Amino acid sequence: MTCPLCSRGGGEVLWQDAFCRVVLADEADYPGFCRVILHAHVKEMTELDAAARTQLMDVVYAVELSLRELLQPDKINLASLGNVVPHLHWHVIPRFLDDAHFPDAVWAAPRRTGRQHTVDHLRENLATALRQRLSARPETE
């Protein structure tokens, strides 16, 4: 079976280097829903050495901080599940008190009709913020 994160991008690429990529997921009810996807096909964080784990989490934190600044959500959810797609990736999901699922996970049954939260030029602003935050960090392959 072909891994969908190896064979396809997993979303619109906002930033990438030789190690990983940040993509904007196509989740209409959750603007700013991002994934940080390791390029190598690895299942678990513990398959990475300490430096690679730190490098991956630094990218996750940069995405979280950028989303907090741009969207000012009530909460950010971080999740690395991989039960369906066993390829190491992190979900970084801005959450709002009035979204369809809050306080439950976005994968749960909706509790209400959620209110749309939008930011003009989110894709461009997020890509710019990530470039600025991640350009100074050293690359590891």
Identify the CATH assignment for 4-134 out of 2.30.30.60, 3.40.50.1100, 3.30.2290.10, 3.30.428.10. 3.30.428.10
The pLDDT of residue 64 is 98
Residue 123: pLDDT band (50, 70, 90) is very high
The pLDDT of residue 1 is 65
Q: Give every CB contact of residue 96 below 8 A, 6+ residues apart in sequence.
A: 73, 74, 102, 114, 115, 117
* Domain layout of the chain by residue ranges: 4-134
pTM attached to this predicted model: 0.92
The pLDDT of residue 138 is 59
